Amino acid sequence: MARPRCNVYFVVGGRYHDFDFARLEILKLLFAHEHVRVRVAEDYADTAAIAAADALISYTCDVRPSEAAQDALIDYVQRGGRWLALHGTNSVFEWTPEGRVTAPRSLPRLMGLLGSQFIAHPPLMDFTVEVTEPSHPLVRGLDAFVVNDELYLSELHGPNRVLLHTHYNGKAQRGFTEKEWFSDEPRPVLYLHAHGAGEVLYFTLGHCRGRYDMQPLVAEYPTIERCSWESPVYYELLNRGIRWLTRQDAAEGQ
């Protein structure tokens, strides 16, 4: 018997990332599921669309929902909605007069709903991602793996159920105002954050940047960055996240 239709609202956009690439890759993964229909937006302004969605997925950077949009997002999750939040969804930043990057704590309700706020990252680097909860269906059967990506140094707003983590003890990339990260606490990479009857699945990996994505700061970026998108395990985790998002995990008895 065919699955009931699942209406996915996909928010993708912002600054300094190759959103064309990420949008295409995620849409291809969603298209593989016949019962999924997708509506795409650049921000969270359409609160009626959020309220009507069966599932919400986002890949953004420095996209700041209004108070009304935050109300809609909170209500959506609280009523039992699922939100797959990818990479920079939890990031907002500003430039200081000295040209440094700071993370304003201007959206506490959004960051509380997401379970974390991005603050900084080291330079792109190889790092090992470890499985925190091997018995959970979203990560079951996976071994530790190495990726080259942005290692997120975040302010946490738990409780979060961490499924994947890494470690980092050092300084952030040059230019971030909050540069000292000298503690060996686990850095969440994939986690679940419950709110009301619903849940957010946050996945920090997935940086990507093309040649023209740093404009107007840089006319042409010198390299194309694909990071975890070049890793098969990243796509496996995205696929598992989409099955969770569209509630196929429940249908499969997970």
Closest CA to 173 of 190, 188, 151, 155: 151
Amino acid at 185: E
User: 105: buried, middle or exposed (CB in 10 Å: 19+, 13-18, 0-12)?
Assistant: exposed
pTM, to two decimals? 0.96
Q: What is the tens place of the pLDDT at every residue in 4-32?
A: 999 999 999 999 999 999 999 999 999 99
| Residue 207 included in any domain | yes
Q: In which band, very low, low, confident or very high, does the pLDDT at 149 lie, cut at 50, 70 and 90?
A: very high
- What average pLDDT does range 39-45 have in this prediction? 98
Whats the size of the chain, residue-wise? 254
Q: Report how far residue 132's alpha carbon sits from residue 198's, in angstroms, rounded to the nearest whole number.
A: 22
What lies within 8 Å, CB to CB, of 23 at 6+ separation is 10, 12, 40, 59
Q: The domain containing residue 35 runs over which residues? A: 6-251
CATH number of the CATH domain containing 184: 3.40.50.880
Q: What is the tens place of the pLDDT at every residue in 102-134?
A: 999 999 999 999 999 999 999 999 999 999 999
Residue 176 pairs with which residues in a beta bridge?
101
Residue 193 pairs with which residues in a beta bridge?
200
Plot region of 197 (φ>0 → left; ψ -120 to 50 → alpha; else → beta): alpha
* Backbone φ and ψ of 15, nearest 5°: -130, 145
* Total domain count, the chain: 1
At 80 the three-state DSSP class reads coil
Q: In which band, very low, low, confident or very high, does the pLDDT at 251 lie, cut at 50, 70 and 90?
A: low
| Residue 178 included in any domain | yes
Asked if residue 216 has a cis previous peptide bond (ω within 30° of 0), the answer is yes
User: 130: buried, middle or exposed (CB in 10 Å: 19+, 13-18, 0-12)?
Assistant: middle
| Residue 66 included in any domain | yes
| Residue 1 included in any domain | no
